[in-house]
Structures are given as structure tokens and as C-alpha cells.
Amino acid sequence: MEGSIEKESFSPLRCTELLRNFEEKEALPMGEELLFSGVDGRDVYNITAPFIISFGGDKKTVIAGRVEAQEEFADSQIMFFEEKEGGWTPVAGAPTFSLEDGFVTSIGNEVIFGGVETYPKPVEDNPHEVGYKTVFYRGQDLSSFERFATGPDMMKDIRVVALANGRFGVFTRPQGGSNVEGKIGYVEIDDLEDLNDPQIILGARIIEGQFAPGEWGGVNDLHLLPDGRIEVIGHVAYKDAQGKKHYYAMSFVYDPEKHYASPIEIIATRKNFPEGGAKTPEKEDIVFPSSLVRNEDGTGTLYAGLSDAKAGKTTLPPRSL
């Protein structure tokens, strides 16, 4: 399943144009910061939405969050938190994982959990350079997650969704060469174990025309729609002339039958959350969405990391998909 995905001819808008369109038509209510404790003063960011899982003989509603000291890089843990008295505290006795940017989805009766694993990859001009890969765990209990798949080296943001035909849709994020800073690919697999096959993952068809030159993005969350299309929640980003990064939460709809993706739309920005600290000044304008939870009234609750230092949620209006 190689090559690029055909789509209707439209030129991708730059992030500045997407932002202008968003700010002209959307008036989101101010989101809220989620408060975390019990982490020895470290930051908690790039969280998942709350999800239900067994632990210690009970069903618990937990959030997985990236925990990292503000002055550290590539030294993260993912911890599990439960809500108590308006804040989120670590689940006593729960496992921790040496990963970044956790994600979670339910497939069948299992929870699929994963994140980004880093490892030393020194180069001539930077002996501290690190490599990374996406890893996957599965299980029905928080204490018994088993690692079952590892993605290709130097690829983040691999996400999977169960399809109505019994197969699985996989979105990828290759970088380098014609994929530059990162594009999005799509491939279908018959078994979750196929996530281990680098030929399958690297052979995913690229969705061309989603990002303007010099800009990039990736997939964070997936929702199968009743008609078989897939709602994609992700991020679109660029770096300005001063070296400051700008990340926005975005969405598009992908049709796996027609291999067609709708144009990207921004759905939330850093301005939609309370002001707060950033890991560095260059990362002030970062929203890294993790999960969108659809509510009964048609609205959505978006959970996101903020400025690589905090976490929050905000309400999105109903959308026609």
C-alpha cells in the first residue's frame, strides 16, 4: 500500500491562515488547567483523557500523564493519576513507564496504551542526541499491561483504530526526505501484531497536501464515524523566524475507502486555556492535544498538554462531520 493518497485539489493553508480562519469563526469558552500533585514539583503535561480500567480489584477512572522536571529533557515518566478533591494524584501502587506523550484507546475488551520511548543516539556534533520510537502495551488491568509492539525507529505519533470490517487503521508520521519534518500516512493491518512490521508501517500511503512547506503535524486521537470515515484529532505546527514553536490542535476527516482527507482545521489554541508557565520561552505557544471525548449534547471535551509544562481541557462546540 505504497505511494501517496489522492485527494481533491486544494492547496494547504499555512498555520497563520488556519489560525486566522479559526479566530474569525470560533469563540470557545475558556478551558481550565488540570491540577496535579504528588510528583515532587515536576511538571505534568501531554495527558490522556480519563479512561476506565481495573486496578486492585476495582474499576478506576485514571489519566496517564507525562511527568518531567522542568529543567530535564528526554527524561520522562508516564504515571497514572486519579481525581481526588478537585485535583489529580498518583494512583498508589500503579506502574510507571519510562515513556513520553502517552496515548490510550480501547479495542475490543482491551485497553491499548502506548507512548514514545527514547534512547541514546549520539551524533558527531551532539553526543547527547536521542532517538525515539512508538511502543504499545495492551491489557485489561493497570497492573498487567504487556508490551506487544514497537514501531520503527525515529517515528512518533503512530495511532490505531478498529474498523468496521474487522481490520485496523493505522496512522503514521514518517520524517525525512520528501516527508521533511513530518507528514501523515495511512495503512490497514489485519492484526495488531502487524504494528511490529517496519515494512508495513514505513509503507503507509502518505496523505499529501495537508501541510504547507516548512510545516508539519501528526495524529493524536482517532474516532470511527458511523459511515466508516475516521475523525482525526492531531496537531499542526511550525517554527517562526525567531525559533519559537507554534503548535495548534487540529482536526480533519479521512475516508479510507476513497483515500481522501478533508482540509485541516484548527480546533483549539493556547489562547483557549489559562495562561501559565512554559518549559522554555520558545514553547509558550504549544497545545499538544491528546484525546477528544464526545459528549451526549454533541460538544467535545479536548484534553491537551500546554507549553510542555501543564495540562488542561476545554469544551469544543458540536461539529458537522
pLDDT attached to residue 58 = 94
Q: What is the CATH number of domain 4-316?
A: 2.115.10.20
pTM above 0.85, yes or no: yes
pLDDT attached to residue 74 = 67
284 touches 307 (CB < 8 A) = yes
Q: Which triple of cell numbers denotes residue 99?
A: 515513556
The 3-state DSSP class for residue 72 equals: coil
Per-residue pLDDT of the chain (321 residues; tens, 9 = 90+): 445 544 455 689 999 999 999 999 878 889 999 999 999 999 999 999 999 999 999 999 999 999 999 887 768 999 999 999 889 999 999 999 999 999 999 999 999 999 999 999 888 788 878 899 999 999 999 999 999 999 999 999 999 999 999 999 999 999 988 888 889 999 999 999 999 999 999 999 999 999 999 999 999 999 999 999 999 999 999 999 999 999 999 999 999 999 899 999 999 999 999 999 999 999 999 999 999 999 999 999 999 999 999 999 999 999 888
For residues 215 and 15, give the distance between their C-alpha atoms in angstroms, rounded to a whole number.
8
Classify strands 130-139 and 146-150 as parallel, antiparallel or unpaired.
antiparallel
Residue carrying the nine cell digits 518549559 = 279
Domain range summary for the chain, segments of one domain joined by +: 4-316
Based on C-alpha coordinates, what's the Rg of the chain?
19
